[in-house]
Every structure is written in structure tokens, then in C-alpha cells.
Amino acid sequence: MKMTFLEAIKTGMDHEMKKNENVYILGEDVGPFGGCFGVTAGLFDKYGDKRVRDTPISEGAIVGCAVGSAATGLRPIAELMFGDFVTVAMDMIVNQAAKMRYMFGGKINLPLVIRMPIGAGVQASAQHSQSIEAWFTHVPGLKVVYPSTPEDALGLMMSSIEDDNPVIFFEHKLLYGMSTEVGDDIKPIPLGVAKVQREGTDVTVIATGKMVHNAIEASEKLAKEGISVEVIDPRTLYPLDKNTIFSSIEKTHKVLVITEEHKRGGYGGEISAMISEECFDDLDAPVVRVGALNVPMPYAPTLENVVIPNTQDIINGIKRMF
């Protein structure tokens, strides 16, 4: 069946809510309003206000409540309206959720999911457009998921809810409307398994989120020039499927890493450092990293376009290796 990205996330949550009555949703305007982007629309009518809870504007309390209820037997899904607002709840994630299990000697489970819409391209400027993956991939104790297609969003959402660890679930806001075929056999997709989105032999492109689609577009253009590009979407940033990445590099010997984050300190840097460290002998060229400019996201569409990495940047980056 055909499904939008947005419906896929909802369907994943719906399935898990049906299966387990301890799964519940909380967040700002997630109830009758259906969430700022409409992801929870209809779930309130189906499950009522006990399981789809509108909260005050209190991100610290939203995430804190998720942590406390996860520690005591529930499986919360917390929605932050924009990923950018997580700064207000950072202590609950970084010092509490991520570390509790370890500090308590492994004697506690924290099955919680925090959903965060991220990414630029809608002129929402500096405080509503960020790509903040690296803030979380840096913190031991968190799993980080970032799907790029409806099918993956659905299956990964199910796995995230079933996982006994805190999971950060990123959703690129420009992908919400994207609609593709989703198999009728709805089932979880395990965390930590990358997907080869397009097979190729000359160069490996590792892309996340919306950039996966830019990478596919670049690969189609380069195919016409005789360059065969393999596009890999890790789908989960942590755990990271190194095997799929490394076997591709053994074949292509060239790698470009593209993420929408600011290039400085982004998770793309971690991936490329890891490749340089562990696959040095397989490489024919230094790893190329592409990311956003290191500036806050500007408002004017003309400026925003300059800051966000695009398909041409990927093509240029690949050509530098030949």
C-alpha cells in the first residue's frame, strides 16, 4: 500500500499501541490537534486522553515524565514539536535517561522513544531548522534512529518502541509528505542494520535523512557520466552498521559522507574518521565529507539555499575523488 512518511510513523505507533497498552504518547498539541505536523492525528480519537496526552509547554517535564514512567513499567513516546526545543530537556536525556541503566548497574530498563522533527528548508530560520544528530550520537546510552523513507520509518518506529533503551527518533520535516509503497507485511526493522539504497561500484556515498534522496539524485546524474555510485543509508546512526559500510568500501575504494548537519563536529565526521581509521588500506582517496555551512540557519530563502548541502555538492565532492 502507498503511505506518506507521516502516516508511516503514525502506523508504527498505532501498531505498538494496539499490541501493548503500556505504550502511550505525550507531547504538546499531540491530542485532538494531532501534533504540529499532524503525525498523531486520529490517535487521540482511537486511544483517548489517557494514552495520547496533551502536555503543557514544559519540555523538561515531558521528557522527565517519559523517563520516570519508562523506569516504572510504561513505554512512553514523547514528541518534541521541533527537535530544536530539546535544549530545554537536555538534562533529562543526557544526564538521566542515557546514564541511569549504567549507573544503576544494569538493573533498570528505560524503554522510551523521543521523536524530534529536524532539518531545514522551510525558512523556519535558526531556532527551528537544526540538524542535531551529533548532540546525541556523542552520548553513550542512547540509540539514535534517522529514517529516510516511509517504509523504514514504519519498521524502525516499531523497533524503537519495542527497544528497552532510550531511543532518539529523528524525522526530517521535508520528508513528512513523501509517499511511497510500503509492504503489506508490517513488521519491525531491527536497529543497527543499514540499507543499500542503490548499488554501485565506483564510489560509496553514505547519506542520512533527507540527504539520502539528494544522494540518489546525484547517483542518477553521475550514472549518465559513467560513474557508478553506491548509496548507503545507515538508518540508525547508533548502533551503526559498520559491516555494510565497510564491505561497500572494499568494493569501491572511495567514500563520500553527506549529512545535513553543520560540517564541523557533525556525526558525518565520526563516520569518516572511523572509515579512515579502520579501512585505510581500502581507500584510494581521502574520505570526502559534505555538510551544511557552519553558520546558524538563515531565514531568507536565497541564503538558506546556500547553507543547506545539495545534490550538486555531492556530485562535486565525488568528482574530486576521480
Q: Which residues are catalytic?
A: 128
Q: How far is it, in rounded angstroms, from Cα 198 to Cα 308?
A: 23
The distance of closest approach from Cβ of residue 33 to ligand TPP in the complex, given in angstroms and rounded to an integer, is: 11
When binding is defined by CB under 6 A, the residue of 18, 19, 42, 57 that contacts ligand TPP is 57
167-172 vs 113-118, strand pairing mode = parallel
Which partner from the list ligand TPP, other proteins, none does 124 bind, CB cut-off 5 to 8 Å by kind? other proteins
| Identity of the residue, 144 or 297, whose beta carbon is nearer to other proteins in the bound complex | 297
The window from 81-89, 142-150, 184-192, 274-282 that contacts ligand TPP (CB under 6 A) reads 81-89
CB of 119 to ligand TPP, least distance (A): 16
Cell output for 49: 486522553
List CB contacts of 138: < 8 A, sequence separation 6 or more.
none
Give strand pairing partners of 144. 168, 238
Does residue 81 belong to the site contacting ligand TPP (CB under 6 A)? yes
Residue 79 interacting with ligand TPP (CB under 6 A): no
Nearer to other proteins, 75 or 115 (CB): 115
C-beta separation of 91 from 278 below 8 A: no
Q: Which stretch binds ligand TPP (CB under 6 A): 80-88, 138-146, 164-172, 268-276?
A: 80-88
CA distance from start to end of the chain: 41
What is the number of other CB atoms lying within 10 angstroms of the CB of residue 187?
Answer: 10
User: Phi/psi at 56 (nearest 5 deg)?
Assistant: -65, 170
Beta-carbon contacts of residue 70 (< 8 Å; ≥ 6 apart): 76, 97, 109, 110, 111, 112, 166
Complex with other proteins: residue 162 or 304, whichever CB lies closer = 304
Q: How far, in Å, CA of 18 to CA of 15, rounded? A: 5
Cα–Cα distances (Å) from 194 to 47, 122, 254, in that order, read 33, 28, 18
CB of 127 to ligand TPP, least distance (A): 7
State the binding partner of 295 from ligand TPP, other proteins, none, CB within 5 to 8 A by kind.
other proteins
123 binds, among ligand TPP, other proteins, none (CB under 5 to 8 A by kind): other proteins
One residue of 16, 28, 162, 202 binding ligand TPP per CB under 6 A: 28
User: In 10 A of CB 128, how many CB atoms?
Assistant: 19
Residue 20 near which of ligand TPP, other proteins, none (CB within 5-8 Å, type-dependent):
none
**Rounded Cα distance, 60 and 305, in Å:** 33
User: 125 touches which of other proteins, ligand TPP, none (CB within 5 to 8 A by kind)?
Assistant: other proteins
Binding site for other proteins (CB under 8 A): 28-29, 32-33, 36, 54, 56-61, 84-85, 87-88, 122-128, 263, 290, 293-296, 298-303, 306-307, 309, 312-313, 316
Other beta carbons less than 10 A from residue 201's beta carbon: 13
Residues that bind ligand TPP (CB under 6 A): 28, 57, 59, 81, 85, 88
